[in-house]
Amino acid sequence: MMKEFERREGFQMRCADLNAWLDRLMDGELTDGQRRELEAHGRECPVCGEQIRATLEMKALFEEMPAEVDVPLAAQAKWRGAVRAEARGRASRRLYRRIGAAAAAVVLVAGIGWAMNARDIPLRSEKAAVSDAAEAPVEAAGALSEAADVEAMDAAPMMNDAVYKDVAYESEEALDYAASDAAVIEADGYAGSAAESASAPSAPMREIRLTVEDVDAASGVICDLVAEYDGTADAQRAEGGANLYVALPAENAADFLSAIAHLDVTGALSGLSGDFGEGTASLLLALEAKE
């Protein structure tokens, strides 16, 4: 820490104070006068001069390094996919637990019914029969719950113990959303195009060209976004790129295009708008790799 008197203009710095001065130089806290003082000292003292030159170079290089760096598209898609998988794993575990609880309730009701009938069975007291019936569902529920936990852990292999305790789904809405979040992917087989599977299109297919850095990565990101906007996508590889046939609710089309605009390196997609009418919007996204 630089002492108060050292901040005065015209202060004659000593070699022993060099580190403190250089820290203030790095932090941009030296006044012009102090900086001239430092440089003057560097010219007179070769040892300090060497350190000052190294610091100036280091500072200049640090300033050239950006505080933000674009994440490669493939890496973007990867972490987003991992988060979605984690969300689905949580939802599955919650669902299994609910199924387990429901099954336990069924077993309990059946057990009570059995106990009521057991009154007629000789050599057993009514109390013992009821006690047995009460234990049976507990065991059954435990087994179901255990099985559910094992399956859930399979579904979310990256989950650790701390997370295991952290079941965040508290509302039916969240559960429904996450359970339906699963993407159904049918590969290497034609099961009807996106346009066919959607309701009757209300507007002709609109073709939009995108120039992207990485066709595969961009296709993955677009397919994810199609899902976000309640649509369906049919991906078809083409020479030097890919064609994505997209059908989605017309009211979501403009927002969807806005969301994918950043993938187009030419910037031509930014600000693209239009009336997509009502019903279903059909789009052909022609992706080609940047030269």
Partner 1 sequence: MERTRNIIRLRRSRRWEVVRGVDENKLIRRAAGGDAAAFNELLGMHEKRMYAVALRMCNNAEDAQDCLQEAMLRIFRSISGFKAESSFSTWVYRITVNTCLDELRRRKNRPNTSLDGLLDTGWSPSDEDDTPDRHAARRQTRENLRRLIRELPEDMRAAVVLRDIEGYSYDEIAEILGANVGTVKSRISRGREKLREKITAHAELFDRPGV
**Binders in 71-100 for partner 1, by CB under 8 A:** 71-72, 75-76, 78-80, 82-84, 86-87, 90-91
**Binders in 214-253 for partner 1, by CB under 8 A:** 223, 226-239, 252
Question: Binder to partner 1 among 9, 255, 275, 278 (CB under 8 A)?
Answer: 255
Of 49-57, 115-123, 135-143, 280-288: span binding partner 1 (CB under 8 A): 49-57
Question: Binder to partner 1 among 8, 14, 54, 113 (CB under 8 A)?
Answer: 54
Instruction: State the nearest-atom distance from the C-beta of 146 to partner 1, in Å.
Output: 23
Burial 112-127 (b: 16+ CB within 10 A, else e): eeebeebeeeeeeeee
- Cβ proximity to partner 1: between 100 and 231 the closer is 231
Instruction: State the nearest-atom distance from the C-beta of 129 to partner 1, in Å.
Output: 43
**Binders in 170-209 for partner 1, by CB under 8 A:** 170-171, 173-174, 176-178, 180-181, 183-194, 197
Amino acid at 5: F
- Residue count, binding to partner 1 (CB under 8 A): 91
- Cβ proximity to partner 1: between 162 and 200 the closer is 162
Instruction: State the nearest-atom distance from the C-beta of 69 to partner 1, in Å.
Output: 4
4: which 2 tokens? 């108060």
Of 69-77, 110-118, 124-132, 275-283: span binding partner 1 (CB under 8 A): 69-77
186: which 2 tokens? 């049918």
Q: Are 175 and 239 in contact (CB under 8 A)?
A: no
Q: Are 93 and 175 in contact (CB under 8 A)?
A: no
- Cβ proximity to partner 1: between 83 and 116 the closer is 83
- Cβ proximity to partner 1: between 23 and 132 the closer is 23
**Binders in 98-127 for partner 1, by CB under 8 A:** none
Angle at 23 between CA 21 and CA 28, to 5 degrees: 95
Instruction: State the nearest-atom distance from the C-beta of 160 to partner 1, in Å.
Output: 8
Instruction: State the nearest-atom distance from the C-beta of 91 to partner 1, in Å.
Output: 7
Strand 280-289 vs strand 206-212: parallel, antiparallel, or unpaired? parallel
**Binders in 258-287 for partner 1, by CB under 8 A:** 258
- Cβ proximity to partner 1: between 42 and 111 the closer is 42
Is residue 160 exposed (0-12), middle (13-18) or buried (19+ Cβ within 10 Å)? Answer: exposed
Residue at token pair 């500072």: 59
206: which 2 tokens? 């609109």
Amino acid at 106: V
Other CB atoms within a 10 A radius of the CB of residue 184 amount to 6
Instruction: State the nearest-atom distance from the C-beta of 52 to partner 1, in Å.
Output: 5
Distance, CA of 245 to CA of 196 (rounded, Å)? 11
Question: Binder to partner 1 among 30, 34, 42, 100 (CB under 8 A)?
Answer: 42
Q: Are 140 and 109 in contact (CB under 8 A)?
A: no
End-to-end Cα separation, the chain, in angstroms:
53
